[in-house]
Structure 1
Amino acid sequence: MCFSLCGLKWRETLGYGSIRWAQTGSHTQTWNNPSWFSALIKCLPIFCLWVFLLAHGINFLVAHRSASRILAGLIFSAVGDAFLIWQEQGYFVHGLLMFAITHILYSSAFGMKPLDLKAGFVMTLLSSFCYTFLYCYLSGPFTYLVAVYIALIGFMGWRAIAGVQLSNDLWTWTKLSACIGAVLFMVSDLTIAVNKFCFPVPYSRAIIMATYYAAQMLIALSAVERISLSLKVH
């Protein structure tokens, strides 16, 4: 019993430390000059979230596919972050692909129940509006690459929002964190798109990184819902 409590306390402490680093990383790090060191620093908050999930045990990840998919999404996110360090050297599309895979994994983790077609309709309208706004600034392959990416992140946002079930009073804090995380992810990526393709966004780096790290932290927290419920039962 004592060993179990100590183990749980260690996981909570490690998870809290990981989350605090993810919250503060965007304010303390800069990576103007592309290098492996700057890539490591940029990815470090995401590495901490890996550790946060792994601290719950391999058996937990194996038993709960949603958690393992979120971990896989975090891994692809880190690779995408590294590619974006060298985006001016031609690796922007590589980063885009990694994050597209991330959104597919997150969507799979959130699942298709409940369906909530109303939320899906709203997200379709918002995604269409965003693409229509960006379209006149796009050229070449980005005309369709951005369309596909917006569709994927919009789908991910729909599945996260649908899972909250506020109207039926079936929501949980972890489902709400996934929803808020997905929305923040969309804000971060929209800021990237506007800043890259349209016009400079004031304080774009601070906005992008703060919303991105917060989004990943909240989505990572949503992965531990089932272990929290099992602890309450016991």
Structure 2
Amino acid sequence: MNIKNILLYLYLVVLAADLLVIHFNWFNGEVVFKSALMPVLAGYYLIISKNKKIRSFRLFGIALILAWLGDVFLLFSPLNDMYFILGMCAFLIMQLIYAYCFHLLRTDNSTLLNNRFIHTRMVMVALALGAFYYVIAPQMGNLKLPVGLYVCAIAIMVIYAIKRRGNTTEKSFTLVYGGALIFMVSDGMIAVVKFMEDFNHSRVLIMLTYGIAQLLIVRGVYLHQKAYHTSK
């Protein structure tokens, strides 16, 4: 078994272990496994990427580091809202870097059909996020502005994932777009729990969707770099 497969399976094992300790509410175990998740994924991305000199590789690596910081901060968010804000800031910057990487990792083969798909999905995402923010905003108190900015960052990230339609391989588009949507759902569940009401197995579902989303995005980015040998 080669190193890239070992790291892929290790990521899945760490994610499964994290879900297990979350289910049994073992905080010390969650600190270990959640803190290990993004470093393992970053190692996997480092190994599978062929061209490590391009801008998108370096930026994407920085985004994964920010995701790791966000994970660590959010671990301690129940203790103090400041950790929640720091985690949100880390993920906000990560979302914007992801969006820029999605912009770099595309060709310029727009067609009328693709443009219709893109514009329709962009409007749907904007309306969905706007409506969601409108519903939860009354519960946010002093966090309305930072959460509003974060919602905008999510929208930008998902929109740039959508804009890759027809400008990359079908598989790369599907993985990145799917990952971005799942990421949006995961963050939506965090907001529901934080500002509205907890629900059964919420933390397990949040972590599961987050872990899947990150892996899909990494795989989709890699497949574009592999297919087009991009210099960006």
Per the shorter chain, which TM-score range?
0.7 to 0.9
With structure 1 as the length reference, what TM-score do the two structures score?
0.81
2:209 corresponds to:
211
CA separation in 2, counterparts of 1:200 and 1:38? 19
1:99 corresponds to:
91
2:181 corresponds to:
183
CA separation in 1, counterparts of 2:74 and 2:121? 31
On the 8 A contact 1:188/1:211 being kept in 2, the answer is yes
2:195 corresponds to:
197
| Amino acid of the structure 2 residue aligned with 1:185 | F
Residues 1:62 and 2:53 aligned together: yes
| Amino acid of the structure 1 residue aligned with 2:99 | S
Task: Using the TM superposition, give the Cα deviation of residue 119 of structure 1 relative to its aligned residue in structure 2, in angstroms.
Answer: 2.6
Task: Using the TM superposition, give the Cα deviation of residue 118 of structure 1 relative to its aligned residue in structure 2, in angstroms.
Answer: 3.1
- The aligned length equals 216
| Amino acid of the structure 2 residue aligned with 1:148 | L
Structure 2: 5+ residue runs without aligned partners?
none
Q: Percent identity?
A: 23
How do residues 86-165 of structure 1 correspond to structure 2 at under 5 angstroms?
86-90=76-80, 91-111=83-103, 116-140=118-142, 142-165=143-166
2:71 corresponds to:
81
CA separation in 2, counterparts of 1:39 and 1:23? 12
1:5 corresponds to:
none
CA separation in 2, counterparts of 1:101 and 1:25? 27
Secondary structure of the residue aligned to 2:48 is: coil
Report the CA distance shift for 1:126/1:22 in structure 2 as closer, same or farther (over 3 A): farther
Secondary structure of the residue aligned to 1:189 is: helix
On the 8 A contact 1:80/1:95 being kept in 2, the answer is yes
CA separation in 2, counterparts of 1:138 and 1:41? 30
Structure 1: 5+ residue runs without aligned partners?
1-8
Secondary structure of the residue aligned to 2:200 is: coil
CA separation in 1, counterparts of 2:198 and 2:26? 19
Q: CA RMSD in A?
A: 2.6
On the 8 A contact 1:188/1:208 being kept in 2, the answer is yes
CA separation in 2, counterparts of 1:33 and 1:46? 20
With structure 2 as the length reference, what TM-score do the two structures score?
0.82
Task: Using the TM superposition, give the Cα deviation of residue 159 of structure 1 relative to its aligned residue in structure 2, in angstroms.
Answer: 1.1
CA separation in 2, counterparts of 1:178 and 1:22? 22
Report the CA distance shift for 1:134/1:52 in structure 2 as closer, same or farther (over 3 A): same
Task: Using the TM superposition, give the Cα deviation of residue 44 of structure 1 relative to its aligned residue in structure 2, in angstroms.
Answer: 1.5
CA separation in 2, counterparts of 1:109 and 1:18? 26
Secondary structure of the residue aligned to 1:29 is: helix
